């Protein structure tokens, strides 16, 4: 096992102050992420000017939806010296991708459906992941666990936000440098969540709805479990995404979201598992697995491995499952290959075991078969 562990950024004060601290501490990494995403967009046919214009268009929308989030983005820009529209680009990279595909879909004037991004666009826009939830009755110690392997671009710089604040619960969240919302994490109320990318033909038809990562931050802002569910389902969404939420008191729910549809999945025998396809296709057309059929393997294998250990699951069990590389290099533990390059191929950037009962995270910086898990505690 190698690697120094994920960098930790301690942020405190009000939204703008926290943003300034974020920007000052990770200025170089933020610039790197901006350039990485501009390269990714360019490889998908979205030029730099168009990407910046799209991101700038989201700034007033974010301010309208969540003023604190907007203030924190402004703080990141002030602290790093990176223009606000470029900070916004990192925060809305998912929506920028789909917006561009929607706008460009009918450039040939053939009257085609302007709201249906192609499957290559879908695969480029969403994160790959395999996630899980373990209720107390299925764990060895009576604790509640949520976690995942987050599969994304190797070149993106990440860190752990350790947030101490007066305007909401303290929290720990893995994030990309420049991204205010975080990717996944837990708060001091014992609420935690993991995410999986999903795709349907309807994604991107209305990209200027509340952005995905704003909703993720609002989960961590919640004082109660129902309040954590609300930002995911209360309003229609720009695209599809899966949210697996848990509470330290033993509650788990999985929310499969499409732009205007939500499926509610509950644990069976105290267990949940999810990958990058809709489990319930009665009201949606799930398309990401057409390009990424390994999702169909990863989700089912995660579930089976958990079921085999039900009642005896502890952090060691979860680490072993997250290291599973059946279907290598596209197993639960995923590795980048040369075929996709920096603009297309994912690997497991972070593997996480979240103990919601003890308010702690076990994290790797890279694929868990290559990187050591390190413990981070809230408080």
pLDDT digits over 132-186, tens only? 999 999 999 999 999 999 999 999 999 999 999 999 999 999 999 999 999 999 9
Domain boundary among 120, 151, 166: 120
Domain boundary among 52, 87, 120: 120
Domain identity same for 94 and 217: no
CA dist 24 and 84 (Å) reads: 14
DSSP letter, residue 42: H
Domain identity same for 79 and 130: no
DSSP H/E element including 194:
strand 191-197
Domain identity same for 179 and 229: yes
Domain identity same for 291 and 329: yes
- Is 198 within a domain? yes
Give residue 4's pLDDT band: very low, low, confident or very high (50, 70, 90): confident
CA dist 100 and 14 (Å) reads: 34
CA dist 336 and 60 (Å) reads: 36
pLDDT digits over 229-258, tens only? 999 999 999 999 999 999 999 999 999 999
Which residue range(s) make up the domain with 56?
A: 8-120
Q: Quickly list H helices, the chain.
A: 15-25, 27-43, 48-65, 67-80, 84-91, 93-104, 119-125, 212-220, 225-233, 288-291, 294-308, 315-322
- Is 74 within a domain? yes
Domain identity same for 130 and 45: no
Domain identity same for 101 and 152: no
Count of domains observed in the chain = 2
pLDDT digits over 86-137, tens only? 999 999 998 988 765 544 443 333 333 333 445 455 455 566 799 999 999 9
Cβ-in-10-Å burial (0-12, 13-18, 19+) of 339 comes to exposed
């Amino acid at each position: 096992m190698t690697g120094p562990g994920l960098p930790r950024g301690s942020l405190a004060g009000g939204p703008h102050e926290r943003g300034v601290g974020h920007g000052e501490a990770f200025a170089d990494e933020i610039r790197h992420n901006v350039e990485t995403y501009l390269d990714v967009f360019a490889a998908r046919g979205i030029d730099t000017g168009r990407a910046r214009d799209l991101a700038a268009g989201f700034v007033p929308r974010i301010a309208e939806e969540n003023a604190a989030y907007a203030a924190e983005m402004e703080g990141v820009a002030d602290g790093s010296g990176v223009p606000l529209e470029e900070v916004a680009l990192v925060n809305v990279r998912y929506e920028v991708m789909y917006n561009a595909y929607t706008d460009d879909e009918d450039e040939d004037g053939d009257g085609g459906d302007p709201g249906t991004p192609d499957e290559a666009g879908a695969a480029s826009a969403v994160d790959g992941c395999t996630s899980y939830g373990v209720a107390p009755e299925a764990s060895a110690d009576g604790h509640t666990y949520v976690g995942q392997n987050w599969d994304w671009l190797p070149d993106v710089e990440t860190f752990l936000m350790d947030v101490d604040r007066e305007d909401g619960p303290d929290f720990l969240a893995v994030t990309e440098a420049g991204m205010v919302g975080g990717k996944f994490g837990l708060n001091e109320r014992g609420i935690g969540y993991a995410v999986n990318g999903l795709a349907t033909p309807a994604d991107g038809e209305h990209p200027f709805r509340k952005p995905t990562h704003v909703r993720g931050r609002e989960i961590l802002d919640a004082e109660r479990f129902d309040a954590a569910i609300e930002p995911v389902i209360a309003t229609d969404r720009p695209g599809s995404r899966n949210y697996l939420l848990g509470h330290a008191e033993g509650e788990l729910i999985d929310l499969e979201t499409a732009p205007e549809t939500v499926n509610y999945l509950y644990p069976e025998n105290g267990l949940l598992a999810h990958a990058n396809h809709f489990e319930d296709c009665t009201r949606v057309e799930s398309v990401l697995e057409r390009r990424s059929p390994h999702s169909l393997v990863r989700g089912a294998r995660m579930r089976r491995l958990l079921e085999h250990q039900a009642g005896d699951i502890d952090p060691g069990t979860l680490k072993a499952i997250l290291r599973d590389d059946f279907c290598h290099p596209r197993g639960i533990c995923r590795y980048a290959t040369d075929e996709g390059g920096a603009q297309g191929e994912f690997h497991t950037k972070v593997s996480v075991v979240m103990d919601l009962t003890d308010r702690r995270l076990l994290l790797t910086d890279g694929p868990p078969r290559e990187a050591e898990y390190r413990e981070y505690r809230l408080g």
